[in-house]
Structure 1
Amino acid sequence: MNDDSSNVQKWTCEYCTYANYPSALKCTMCRGSKPLLNEDIFRLREESPSPVGDLSPVSGPSVRNRDGKWSCHVCTYFNRPAAKECAECNNIKLTASDLHEHLKPLRIEQTNEASSIPRPNKWSCSICTYENWPKATRCVMCGATPRISPSTISLEGATKENEIHSNFERGGSNIEESNMTATLKRSSSRRMDDCSGGAPPRSPPNNIEYERRMRLHRHADWPWLNACLGVVQGDHIPVETFLSSGGDPTRQLTSSEVSLLNRPSAFDVGYTLVHLAIRFHREDMLATLLSRIEGGGSGVKRVPSYVAPDLAADIRRHASSIHRQRKASLPIPFLAEWSTFTLPAEIEDLPTSVQEQLFEELLDKDAQQQLEADPPVINWSLEITVHLGSRLYALWNRSAGDCLLDSLMQATWGVFDRDNLLRRMLSDSLTQAGHVFYPRWREYESCQARLLHFSLEETQWEEDWSGLVSLASQPGNSLEQLHVFALAHILRRPIIVYGVKYVKSFRGEDLGYARFEGVYLPLLWDTSFCIRSPLSLGYTRGHFSALVPIEPYSSPDTGAPSPDSLQVTFLPLMDHDRKLLPVHFVTQSEMGSEENLLRQWLDVCVTDGGLLVAQQRLQKRPLLVAQMVEEWLNHYRRLAQMSIAPFSRTIPVQDYSSDGDTDDE
């Protein structure tokens, strides 16, 4: 070592504080670079590299002394001239060209030279302005997402899509993957269009929305969403999987779930599986869904329109073809033909076990029990039910909010109003003939209001009327008394509603007074234009049911029809307290003469027991209805054959109900 080393002014490493010799360009301990605090960097730029044989002290770290020895640039040890490596630390001897390459990054280039040198294409953070490397997916300083530019859009979209694919491979849903990928592609395309146009690209949004959607995808209930798509696509498997796992068929779609499904034409907020099945005409799925509604029991309802869906569709088309409308002063649409649905008499020929299963799968047992409970609403007179053979049965129907229209179509043609025929005619009636319905409605409601000691202003009456007209045009919405009155004009026949007087809660508590019970006459038509045979409906806790009898049996000996007196069903016009049923929407001048009105519009008679009853005349079934009923009845005939030896076996009986409705009709 040099004897004068104690007097040498060493430099201190800024990393490990080790004192290095002046000629050392890197720290001997940590290999850190020597600080250039006292160096003339401009001199380094201006001086050209020295030749190899130059012995100038500034020619490089390997400095030669008087004896021709060279000093190691690491440990400063003076080595012999011929040595290629340092004898002390084995570091290679640096030449002048090595020094040039070592100091090249420290040189300051001129402006024109700097422009030609390739520089990393860093991106500046829009939040903190920190310059990040191109491969950085977010800002190193603040974590914000990078600036979106046309050159990085494709890379960004591919990265996000690959990330989504990997997420789904770890347990996601194929439906979720396809929808999210399509969404990303559309958003990427929109960004590309924005950037490729003449206008400058928009300011970069943050990633809050993207992260929210990703969290929503990760926490979404995909069995439920797959079931919704299964109904739309006609796929039974996801629907059965959802129901078998305890899924609720009355569950409604939320706004976030609708955005995930990404099909506004099919899905809407508040839709259930039942709504989707009705909208896309999945009648086979609808039977399963309705039977799974809370309180609806297990199994599948087997009504005639479900057993023979093609015939049921033909019946609905026929009903639509007989739609007519007068162009006179009373523009109320109506049906040109009429029909009354009854249960076939052959039911009584079936074995008892098969009859029980038939009624379980056809009737609304809960509605039947409520209407027959104390105080009874139907079948309370033995004279009518036994001696006159006029027992009424409550048919099961859909609970999707259109039960009033379904029950009327069942009571006439034996099918549901899936095509919203009655709904459209009802809306047209109140819209086009509002000038005749409104005065009678307001006068009747004013009389009812005076009985309750209150009154309304004209603006309030108009608002209430507008609300009723709006309800008539919205499928799935509950209907009111006015709508029953208008439907009596559409069908051109009286409608008798046997309903509970009080709406009760699930605990049996009275919630309010039910005003539907009574007789609705087509008072705006001429009596000669209408049919005197009425229809009967039942009303229980916000739900309507069609009440139909079993048709009289033909003579077993000759096969001829029974006498004319047996071709009539007798419907009581009194309640169990023998009080006359109310007649709705009568004017003040007609009040007090309700019985005369009933005799004017109905075929009324008095039984031996003094009951006032209306005659519901039964006619031969239309051909399509007869074929549908026959096909439905054949199913139970086959079951009856299986119950007879040698094919005897137990016929499973299941309990069904249409309870659990959410509409407030």
Structure 2
Amino acid sequence: MVSAPSADAVPQSQQPAKNIWHAAITAASLGEVEPIILYLSSGGDAQRLLTVEDVEAVADVVDLRSNQTLVDVALKRENSQVVNALLSWGTDQSRDAQESASQDLSNEYLLRRTVSRAAEGAEPGISDLVREEMRSSLRLRADRLPYIDGTHRNTFFMSKELETLPADKLWSALGELLEVNETQLQINDAISRWSTSLLRRKGCCVLYSLYTSADLNCLLHAVSLAMTGVRDSLKVDGVSNRGLLRDATYRALRDNASVGELLRAPNSELRRLTELAMKDKTSLEAAHVFALANIVRRPIVVYAPLEAEPGRELEGAMTERMSGVYLPLAWDPGNTCKDPLCLGYTRGHFSALVGSEAAAIAWAEACGGGAARVPLLLIDEQGQRLPVAFSPSHLDEEGVDGLLQQYLHTSYVEWMDREKGESKVDMAAEQHVPPLEGVAGLFRKVATPDVMLKDKIR
């Protein structure tokens, strides 16, 4: 591969004009190849780093950070054609080959930057096997509600082996597995008030924000990642390019009366929500989170910073609020899993939030034994109790407490609020248990940096 000289080594007069460079930055973010080719053919350097000035120049179009290359920008947004164009520039590959679906070059680039020994013994196709396991476990209730059977009881945890790596290698690996910095900062705003307190009291990290594809299917990816560690990218046969969970969400809203009734949505609103679920790469809303909670038969807890939610009043299916506790109310509690899935919501984007095996074990030891688990305080960054989304309108606070106890492992914990003083708040537990027989090996293998990295860019 032939590389252009670095930007520092090229005289300013020989570098592409700033408008070409800034167009290339925007293109790397949006997945457009032609401006990239124009930049490179004008003598541009694929390894040139974005400056603060560059970031400010494109801020109206894309939200980026400095000290990244175009490849970094494209990888974070899974724009594989841009990655291939940048990494193959100067080779004998044709333009068609540069724009092919092959991920070999971007795989190689990522794997060079992660922990080398983490890749040893990795088996190809593990992620696809997990997806096939999910597909084979999809069932249809008598009233036509699609649901996941079997794997719904699995919760993805970062492997304890990962946390035994030396600090430099750990952060090298995590840097590719976790969300982009801007998203992590917003998620920290939503959970740090209570997670920092638990960390200080019990000495363990609580949640990691896994990188979740920002392709308008992020809610589906986040739920799948939190459950199995892989994205929802297995397409359903015979439909227009819908992933497994998107198709199940669409059918739950279209065919199952109980979900619509629980949403208390007018027919026109229910039709709108159903149409959104039908289309691939279309952003989804709080009502879809509720539908998914019933499909996976377990609670979903969503944390969001205040700035990400223009309104925090619940108004039926049209709520602008995303943060809250979504219970699988279409099911009897005895037929559900009480271990919640956790998501972060930031400016139109959902991210999977997962615990680690090491933290779950450390928490259990700090609490005097018992099952390994990750604690989750059901409060927002202001210390207010998270609402139970779409709970029956006739329930008072005591009735809502009863719902939480039926669908979650709940307890109360003493909480010291800077403004309100000491009080008791709800705490749920996400237990770490061995995956069900038959899929234990698959889920164990997927919890490695190598497998997760390969899946991340597919």
Please tell me the TM-score bracket, short chain as reference.
0.5 to 0.7
Unaligned segments of structure 2, at least 5 residues: 1-33, 39-79, 90-95, 235-242, 311-318, 416-423
| Structure 1 counterpart of 2:281, one-letter code | G
Q: Compared with structure 1, are the counterparts of its residues 399 and 634 closer, same or farther at alpha carbon in structure 2 (3 Å cutoff)? A: closer
Does the residue aligned with 2:308 lie in a helix, a strand or coil?
strand
| Structure 2 counterpart of 1:598, one-letter code | L
Does residue 1:487 correspond to 2:292, yes or no? yes
Partner of residue 387 from structure 1, selected from 195, 201, 217: 201
Does residue 1:529 correspond to 2:374, yes or no? no
**8 A Cα contact 1:379 1:391, kept in partner:** no
Q: Compared with structure 1, are the counterparts of its residues 555 and 316 closer, same or farther at alpha carbon in structure 2 (3 Å cutoff)? A: closer
**8 A Cα contact 1:371 1:538, kept in partner:** yes
Structure-to-structure mapping, 1:176-215, within 5 angstroms = none
Aligned to 2:126: 311
Q: Deviations over 1:203-254 (max 9, x none)?
A: xxxxxxxxxxxxxxxxx98959xxxxxxxxxxx9996335777xxxxxxxxx
Percent identity, please: 29
Unaligned segments of structure 1, at least 5 residues: 1-219, 225-235, 246-260, 262-272, 292-297, 444-460, 506-512, 636-656, 659-665
Cα deviation for residue 595 of structure 1 reads 2.2
| Structure 1 counterpart of 2:250, one-letter code | S
Tell me the distance in 2 between the aligned counterparts of 1:482 and 1:378: 26
Tell me the distance in 1 between the aligned counterparts of 2:325 and 2:429: 14
Partner of residue 398 from structure 1, selected from 210, 213, 221: 213
Cα deviation for residue 436 of structure 1 reads 2.0
Aligned to 1:342: 157
Does residue 1:517 correspond to 2:323, yes or no? yes
Aligned to 1:496: 301
Tell me the distance in 2 between the aligned counterparts of 1:301 and 1:467: 46
Does the residue aligned with 1:538 lie in a helix, a strand or coil?
strand
Cα deviation for residue 617 of structure 1 reads 1.0
Tell me the distance in 2 between the aligned counterparts of 1:574 and 1:553: 20
| Structure 2 counterpart of 1:316, one-letter code | R
Q: Compared with structure 1, are the counterparts of its residues 350 and 578 closer, same or farther at alpha carbon in structure 2 (3 Å cutoff)? A: same
Cα deviation for residue 568 of structure 1 reads 1.1
Q: Normalization by structure 2: what TM-score?
A: 0.64
Q: Deviations over 1:368-402 (max 9, x none)?
A: 211223xx434634442343435111000211111
Does residue 1:426 correspond to 2:249, yes or no? yes
Tell me the distance in 1 between the aligned counterparts of 2:342 and 2:199: 15
Aligned to 1:372: 188
Cα deviation for residue 632 of structure 1 reads 3.1
Does the residue aligned with 1:377 lie in a helix, a strand or coil?
helix
| Structure 2 counterpart of 1:411, one-letter code | A
Aligned to 2:259: 437
Pair member with larger Rg: 1
Of structures 1 and 2, the one scoring higher in RCO (CA 8 A, sep 6+) is 2
Tell me the distance in 1 between the aligned counterparts of 2:177 and 2:194: 22
| Structure 2 counterpart of 1:439, one-letter code | E
Tell me the distance in 1 between the aligned counterparts of 2:253 and 2:108: 35
| Structure 1 counterpart of 2:445, one-letter code | Q
| Structure 2 counterpart of 1:526, one-letter code | D
Q: Deviations over 1:333-381 (max 9, x none)?
A: 11111200001122332111111111211111322211223xx434634
Tell me the distance in 1 between the aligned counterparts of 2:430 and 2:82: 46
Structure-to-structure mapping, 1:536-575, within 5 angstroms = 536-552=342-358, 564-565=369-370, 567-575=372-380
Tell me the distance in 2 between the aligned counterparts of 1:414 and 1:523: 25
Aligned to 1:474: 279
Q: Which structure is higher in helix share?
A: 2
Tell me the distance in 2 between the aligned counterparts of 1:529 and 1:484: 19
| Structure 2 counterpart of 1:502, one-letter code | E
Aligned to 1:323: 138
**8 A Cα contact 2:224 2:231, kept in partner:** yes
Does the residue aligned with 1:424 lie in a helix, a strand or coil?
helix
Q: How many residues are treated as equivalent by the alignment?
A: 334
Aligned to 1:136: none
Structure-to-structure mapping, 1:131-146, within 5 angstroms = none
Does residue 1:628 correspond to 2:428, yes or no? no
Structure-to-structure mapping, 1:149-164, within 5 angstroms = none
Q: Deviations over 1:557-578 (max 9, x none)?
A: xxx9x97535011111122433
Q: Compared with structure 1, are the counterparts of its residues 580 and 287 closer, same or farther at alpha carbon in structure 2 (3 Å cutoff)? A: farther
Q: Compared with structure 1, are the counterparts of its residues 339 and 634 closer, same or farther at alpha carbon in structure 2 (3 Å cutoff)? A: closer
**8 A Cα contact 1:379 1:385, kept in partner:** no
Q: Compared with structure 1, are the counterparts of its residues 416 and 605 closer, same or farther at alpha carbon in structure 2 (3 Å cutoff)? A: same
Q: Normalization by structure 1: what TM-score?
A: 0.45
Q: Compared with structure 1, are the counterparts of its residues 626 and 487 closer, same or farther at alpha carbon in structure 2 (3 Å cutoff)? A: same
Q: Compared with structure 1, are the counterparts of its residues 237 and 496 closer, same or farther at alpha carbon in structure 2 (3 Å cutoff)? A: closer
Tell me the distance in 2 between the aligned counterparts of 1:555 and 1:519: 25
Aligned to 1:241: 85
**8 A Cα contact 1:377 1:575, kept in partner:** yes
Cα deviation for residue 555 of structure 1 reads 8.9
Does the residue aligned with 1:415 lie in a helix, a strand or coil?
coil
Q: Deviations over 1:161-194 (max 9, x none)?
A: xxxxxxxxxxxxxxxxxxxxxxxxxxxxxxxxxx
